[in-house]
Amino acid sequence: MRTRVAIIGAGPAGLLLARLLHRSGIESVILESRTREHVERRQRAGILEQSTVDVLRACGAGERMDREGMEHDGIELRFDRTAHRIDMAELTGGRSVMVYAQTEVVRDLIALRQQEGGALYFEAEALSVDGADTDEPSVRFRHDGVETTLYADYVVGADGFHGVARASIPAERLRVYERAYPYAWLGILASVPPSCDELIYASHERGFALHSMRSSEVSRLYLQVPPGTDAADWTDEQIWDELEARFAVNGDWKLERGPITEKSVTPMRSFVAEPMRHGRLLLAGDAAHIVPPTGAKGLNLAVSDVTLLAEALAEVFNAGNDALLDAYSDLALRRVWRGEHFAYFMTTLLHTEPGADAFTRRLQSAHLDYVGRSRAAAQSLAENYAGLPLDAFREGAASDG
């Protein structure tokens, strides 16, 4: 088998890259180790920043998002039993976010891929990436019990943190930066209309809580819990009681309760592998970086990676210019580290540090109060949450050069 671009992983990064390449007349093959049913059902992020929304619309993948997604112009911070709204649209000149689950983005992109007849293999396990430092890299994979080699001009690893792509790069070629946080999230899906019009981020002495949503009838909520927590140890009533305590404000706001249909625990960690290119193997999304979910940056960083990568590959194949591809890793990492810092900022601002002394907690309260009172602090949070324009990082790199 041979193609122009071999893509490992049919998550949003791999699928969107294939879609963008198709729009530029570039053939690709996607290999996904899981079943289609698994890929379309796994619960992940649900907040699309402005640039992600713009990319999906521009490539023809935004029709259902615009019909069913929920546009939000702000978020709410809660602390000391008070609510503070961050008006993103007003603070950023009209930028906003869209609440639209990653599972729905994946379904839309798979449907488009199949309509166009593009090659997409489910239950195709990538075993190795070979020859990345040659002119003809390849992916060895197993599908229907048969091992096959897919040759390509370039291989893109969009196969997540545990995928084979990054593991195929010699260890001495990578620099790894990581941090594990001393807390996790207990997340639930509940069949109940959201109790809020916009997301609520709550800082409480008992721990962080987040009220999000998946639709007008389904709520998504999270509680800070210790690492290693078993979701089964929490009864539904305990979860709702704890959420109610952490979201409590002075006034008549009420947390609506309903049947919990899913529980899971997510560890909190930051991870970056540099560089994001080894010869003709390029990394994108979780294969190269992980962020704690507090800043809603994981999916959006993956989209910015492949948007840049698709443009760079189009320049190579259609114009014979490899300058942007040569700059891919550096440009992508500029945005990645900005996203990492914002996620770190939101995580440390809002979570209760286990064993923190009274002085540390007061410092955290003072910072929250500053964000709630200062337009400059609120504006910084708003522009990072809604997402800085994609070109901002490229312009910075050009000026540095």
Q: What is the mean pLDDT of residues 9-15?
A: 97
**Maximum separation of any 2 CA atoms in the chain, in Å:** 66
pLDDT over 90 at 220, yes or no: yes
Strand partners, 305: none
Rounded-to-integer distance, Cα 105 and Cα 186, Å = 23
Rounded-to-integer distance, Cα 263 and Cα 352, Å = 22
In terms of residues, how long is the chain? 401
pLDDT over 90 at 168, yes or no: yes
Rounded-to-integer distance, Cα 354 and Cα 361, Å = 11
Rounded-to-integer distance, Cα 20 and Cα 118, Å = 12
pLDDT at 43: 73
Rounded-to-integer distance, Cα 312 and Cα 32, Å = 23
* Tens digit of each residue's pLDDT (9 = 90 or more) over 241-276: 999 999 999 988 999 999 999 999 999 999 999 999
pLDDT class of 400 with cuts at 50, 70, 90: very low
pLDDT class of 381 with cuts at 50, 70, 90: very high
pLDDT at 309: 98
Distance of CA 28 to CAs 6, 11, 23, 129, Å? 6, 15, 11, 16
For 28, the token pair is: 């690709």
DSSP state, 231? G
As to burial, measured by CB atoms within 10 angstroms (0-12 exposed, 13-18 middle, 19+ buried), residue 178 is: exposed
pTM for this prediction: 0.94
For 61, the token pair is: 């993948």
Distance of CA 286 to CAs 58, 133, 270, 359, Å? 23, 22, 11, 36
For 155, the token pair is: 């291989």
- The CATH number that domain 2-73+96-179+269-354 falls under is 3.50.50.60
304-330 as b/e: b if 16+ CB within 10 A:
bbbbbbbbbbbbbbeeeeeebbebbbb
pLDDT class of 395 with cuts at 50, 70, 90: low
pLDDT over 70 at 396, yes or no: no
379-392 as b/e: b if 16+ CB within 10 A:
bebbbbbbbbebee
Segments making up each domain of the chain, as ranges: 2-73+96-179+269-354
Q: What is the mean pLDDT of residues 184-211?
A: 96
* Tens digit of each residue's pLDDT (9 = 90 or more) over 81-92: 999 999 999 999
pLDDT class of 401 with cuts at 50, 70, 90: very low
Q: Which residue, 305, 281, 22, is CA-closest to 139?
A: 281
Classify the phi-psi angles of 296: left when phi > 0, otherwise alpha if psi is within -120 to 50, otherwise beta: left
pLDDT at 390: 84
Q: Which residues are catalytic?
A: 72, 201, 293, 297, 385
Helix boundaries (H) for 351-400: 358-373, 375-386, 391-400
Average pLDDT of the chain to the nearest whole number:
95
User: Tokens 């997510």 map to which residue?
Assistant: 266
E strand or H helix that includes residue 184 = strand 175-190
CA neighbours within 13 Å on the CB side: how many for 69? 27
* Tens digit of each residue's pLDDT (9 = 90 or more) over 320-342: 999 999 999 999 999 999 999 99
Q: What is the mean pLDDT of residues 209-224?
A: 95
Beta-carbon count within 10 A of 334 CB:
16
Strand partners, 119: 29
pLDDT at 267: 93
* Tens digit of each residue's pLDDT (9 = 90 or more) over 274-317: 999 999 999 999 999 999 999 999 999 999 999 999 999 999 99
Residue 150 or 43, more confident? 150
